[in-house]
């Protein structure tokens, strides 16, 4: 069973905002719903009804890797002051390249779960897009 922290990360990676209430999220009190044929279910219900192998894919292939990719995006700030060092040249598009990969994997997570990306993943909401120099 996914932990509460893992479900929070999944929601965040999918681009959904915080719930922001003191009520716990349940299958019937979520703010995110998706349709699967004639069945409509909340994201919470979807995440709490996964098979063991589906949970394993989520935790191993997505949550672990997305956490590392997110760390890489923020960690790339350490190279912002270097343009050239000896024979090494900094990739001027490093941050946008890392951010693009991070967002691509986030989109794959949405596809795997079967929900549309949330507003925080450029699905109708405001999203900062990094352009290549």
* Of the candidate ranges 28-37, 65-74, 115-124, the one whose mean pLDDT is the lowest: 115-124
**Cα–Cα distance between 99 and 94 in angstroms, integer?**
8
Q: How far apart are the first and last CA of the chain?
A: 44
Write down the domain spans for the chain: 4-121
User: pLDDT category, 73, cuts 50, 70, 90?
Assistant: confident
What are the backbone dihedrals phi and psi of residue 21, each rounded to the nearest 5 degrees, phi first? Answer: -120, 165
Note the pLDDT tens digit of each residue in 99-126: 889 999 999 999 999 999 999 887 544 4
How confident is the model at residue 89, as a pLDDT? 66
Q: How many CA atoms lie within 13 A of 71 on its CB side?
A: 6
Q: Tokens 């394993």 identify what position?
A: 56
Taken in order 85, 90, 95, 98, the sign of the CA dihedral is negative
């Amino acid at each position: 069973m996914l932990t509460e922290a893992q479900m929070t990360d999944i929601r965040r990676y999918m681009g959904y905002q915080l719930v922001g209430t003191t009520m716990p999220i349940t299958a019937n009190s979520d703010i995110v719903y998706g349709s699967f044929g004639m069945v409509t279910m909340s994201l919470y219900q979807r995440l709490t009804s996964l098979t063991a192998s589906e949970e394993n894919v989520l935790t191993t292939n997505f949550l672990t890797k997305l956490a590392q990719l997110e760390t890489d995006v923020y960690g790339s700030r350490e190279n912002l002051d270097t343009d050239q060092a000896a024979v090494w040249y900094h990739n001027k598009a490093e941050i946008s390249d890392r951010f693009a990969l991070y967002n691509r994997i986030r989109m794959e997570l949405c596809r795997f779960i079967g929900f549309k990306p949330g507003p925080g993943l450029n699905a109708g909401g405001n999203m900062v897009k990094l352009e290549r120099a």
